Structure 1
Amino acid sequence: MLGSITNFFDRMVRRYLPDAFLFAIILTFVVFILGIVFTKNSPVEMVGYWGGGFWGLLTFAMQMSLIVVTGYILANSPIVKKLLERISRLANTPGQAVILVTVVAIIACLINYGFGLVVGALLAIHVAKRVPSADYRLLMASAYSGFLVWHGGLSGSVPLTIATEGHFLQEKMGLISVTQTIFGGMNLFIVGTLLVSLPILNSLLMKSKQGTGSIDPELLQLQQTRMEATEKEEEEIINKEEQTPAERLENSKLISLLIGFLGLAFVIYHFVSNGFDLNLNIVNFTFLFLGILFHGTPRNFLNSVNGAVKNAGGIIIQFPFYAGIMGMMLDSGLSDQLSEWFVSISNEFTLPWLSFISAGILNFFVPSGGGQWSIQGPIMIDAALNLGADTAKTAMAVAWGDAWTNMIQPFWALPLLAIAGLKVRDIMGFCVMVLFWSFIPISIGLLFF
């Protein structure tokens, strides 16, 4: 039965799901029409909201892009790549391959979601080379399923935002430490349950008959070639000729060591001065300077940056469209109507769970945890204060709603798909099954913890 259901959704998404960029354009028109129909705004006003919001998240877009870029740089460093090769040796059968990729992707996404997306894709390629009979599409879907836990991990934008001094809701809810959110009992239950159950679920999805089976050797070779660093080739060229002073600087390990250790010194200083203040900027800062150290020389580091920026291209170009959608949702009042309707049927017990559901719906139109929090946070926190609900739990409910429907929202799959050489429709049928299953442990955590 599980295989039949998976086959059905796989056929549907492969036939009808458009490219991720077209998906954003379609959502733009959907929100435009909804704003006219369900609010008192005219088409001209909706156009104004769209254009006015188009560049409204540039700072946050830069943070998100850097998370993907720095995650890629670190994951593609020689040290981490060798580690991935060794980890891939743990898999000898297709079932073991799927389980291994899922577990590693979950753990990596808990550390940093940009890092996790790239590590999952890279490991899936290494595992596919070792176990060529494994379904390549399912391996990549398993890697992406690890992304489900990102908002409950160390790079979660909602828990990090409300733990950061000066956040926009501080006057209402104060500062909430990550010990109450990321390391709280509810979040640990959800993350622990998914860490155990998702590998089992993904291995059961091998029962479906819609998979492509073993990976196309040409496709695997293409992805391997694309992911291989060009440092050796450039070093060979440089060694054949006299190095200029500029080339000696570019290939100086001392330069990387000095700036790398300077960066890590600041990270240590930051935590000594501020305690466990883990925010978006310090996560990006840490991964950036670890990447500089792990790549050895500035030239090798810059080679990796070039590949990282290419993988972030889809995110960079689509983020303004989603900012425009967010502008329409916010300025037209659509997001308020959605959130307020859920609040109207909530009580102290059900508010976190209904916040999760509403956040999952809103995530289709605003696939940005921080951006979504800026829209939904004020409404849900006001409701929590009025109803006497736990504000930390309500905030994490919004975070999990955002993460939950990412399984069927293609926005964040773009970096992984770029590395894999696949289209979003190739993995989304499997991800629908992950969406259905994960609803259960997340709901239990929000209702009973």
Structure 2
Amino acid sequence: MLKALSRPAVKLVERYLPDPYIFVLLLTIIAAVAAIAVERQTPLAVMRMWGDGFWNLLTFSMQMLLVLVTGFMLASSPPVKKLLQRLAALAKGPGGAILLVTYVSLAASWINWGFGLVVGALFAKELARLVRVDYRLLVASAYSGFVVWHGGLAGSVPLTIATDGHFSADQIGVIGTGSTIFAFFNLAIVVMLFIAVPLVNRMMLPDENESVFVDPKLLGDDEEERVRITRPAERMENSVVLAWLVGIPGLIFLVDHFFLRGGGLNLNVVNFLFLFLAIVLHRTPRSLLTSLQEAIKGGAGIVIQFPFYAGIMAIMVQSGLAATLSEGLVSFATETTLPFWTFISAGIVNLFVPSGGGQWAVQAPVMLPAAEALGVEIPRVAMAVAWGDAWTNLLQPFWALPVLGIAGLKAKDIMGFCLIQLLITGVLISVGLTWF
């Protein structure tokens, strides 16, 4: 049944889904028109909101870019690459390859979203070298594991509210990750997705005559070139001692942060951890810099599109459109259904503001008073926003950009399969938020 459903979904998306840059331009126009029509804003006022807010997410954009870059550098380090090669050898046939890449992507994304995106894409390429399998579904399976990221260790909403001095601290205080990431209801959702997402991907596997294969020779072998040192400067660039003199103290600092000072996880700590692990595992500065050059290519879309999303967010917030949308969806919510409607509203808002932290800034002023009025647990509502943000990333092509860049595909190649996952995971997450 899922194989039959995936055929029209793939054809529909291939025909009508534009490039992610076109997508953000269309969303900008839709947000502006809606602000004028629904909120009765003047075109000049909307233009000013958009222009004034265009650079409002520069700090957050840099944090997100560093998550991607440091995750890429860690995933492409020689020890991690060798681990991926050994794991790829475990795949027995096309079905096994689909299951394996999904499990690896889910696990890596739960640890860190940037790490998960990159590991999934690199692992998909490694599997495609060894197994004859539909390359579109293989890459889509790698990306589908991304759906768990906001319920994992690098979730920006739970990490934001766990950080001292966050913007809503005066209202809700600091909420530790034990009440969000490691809460029973959240772990239950993660477990359900770890079971369902791989099985759904496996059941969508097309017949061989309908599959799209890739020549393994086109994927490259990623072999490291031998370095010939002829200058003193090159000796420093290839010095293991120099890298470790900085990298190892960085890791010691993290040991002190976590175990001696009782520090917690936040975006800066996650980036610090992945950066210094990458420095140590790459062994030489030259190896790290080579990886960095590749990582930056995957982040090109983030650099150019994030300002547009900041502008959209400014329109949504300042015009009152985001509040109107959220309030409309939660206005008829009860104590039981508020997490569900929060999840749905977050999924819709995510299409316009595909940024977990940015989206929390948009929706928190609406959702927190609603939760307090209905007596709903704040951590559950916060995680409903987080899951809504992660959920519609299966439809919003923005975060697929790094995966597509590594795999050499376009959004239309994989989003048809992701559309089926969107429907199924939406049901599972809704059940977890409402009943667990």
Report the CA distance between 1:274 and its aligned residue. 4.4
2:201 matches 1:205:
no
How far the C-alpha of 1:439 sits from its partner, in A, is: 1.3
Name the SS for the 2:353 alignment partner: coil
| 1:45 paired residue number | 45
Q: For 1:208-257, what per-residue CA distance to the aligned partner results, in whole angstroms no more than 9, with x for missing partners?
A: 68954322x1xx434325xx26x524x13x2xx3x22x222111110111
- 1:90 and 2:93 aligned: no
CA spacing shift, 1:370–1:208, aligned 2, 3 Å: farther
Q: 2:133–2:211: 8 Å Cα contact kept in structure 1?
A: no
In the alignment, is residue 439 of structure 1 matched against residue 432 of structure 2?
no
* 1:158 alignment partner AA: V
**Which residue number in structure 2 is paired with residue 232 of structure 1?**
225
Q: Deviations over 1:416-436 (max 9, x none)?
A: 000000000000000000001
**CA gap 1:59/1:210 in 2 versus in 1, 3 angstroms:** farther
For 1:166, the equivalent position in structure 2 comes to 165
Q: TM-score, normalised by structure 2?
A: 0.98
1:59 aligned residue: 59
TM-score (norm. length: structure 1): 0.95
- Superposed, which structure 2 residues align to 1:362-381 within 5 Å? 362-381=349-368
Q: Give the Cα separation in 2 of the matches to 1:96 and 1:258.
A: 42
Structure-2 change in CA distance of 1:2 and 1:326 (3 Å): same
CA distance in 2, matches of 1:160, 1:373: 11
Aligned pair 1:33/2:20, yes or no?
no
Instruction: Report what 2:108 is aligned to.
Output: 108
Alpha-carbon displacement from aligned partner over 1:127-183 (angstroms, at most 9, x marks no partner): 11110x211000000000000000000000000001111111111111111111111
Cα drift, residue 4 of structure 1: 2.4
Q: Tell me, what secondary structure is at the counterpart of 1:397? A: helix
Identify unmatched segments of 5+ residues in structure 2. Answer: none
What is the match of residue 179 of structure 2? Answer: 180
Residue 301 in structure 1 maps to residue 301 in structure 2: no
Contact 1:7–1:209 under 8 Å retained in 2: no
Unaligned runs of 5+ in 1: none
- Contact persistence 2:2–2:200 (CA under 8 A): no
Checking the alignment, whether the CA contact within 8 Å between 1:137 and 1:211 is kept in structure 2 is no
Q: Report the residue type matching 1:155 in the other structure.
A: A
Residues 388-421 of structure 1 show CA distances to partners (whole Å, capped at 9, x for unaligned) of 1100000000000000000000000000000000
Aligned to 1:117: 117
Counterpart position of 1:18: 18
Kindly indicate whether the alpha-carbon contact (under 8 Å) linking 2:134 and 2:206 is maintained by their aligned counterparts in 1. Answer: no
Please name the residue that 1:151 is paired with: 150
Distance in 1, matches of 2:297 and 2:209, equals 30
> Partner letter of residue 283 of structure 2?
G
Matched, 1:335 2:325: no
One-letter amino acid of the counterpart of residue 177, structure 2: V
- Offset, 1:273: 4.5
Correspondence for 1:223? 219
Between the aligned partners of 1:311 and 1:24, the Cα distance in structure 2 is 17
Offset of 1:315 from its aligned partner? 1.1
The runs of at least 4 aligned residues of structure 1 exceeding 6 Å deviation read none
Separation in structure 2 between the aligned mates of residue 76 and residue 439 of structure 1, nearest angstrom: 32
Alignment CA distance shift 1:210-1:153 (3 Å): farther
Amino acid at match of 1:160: L
**How far is 1:350 from its partner?**
1.1
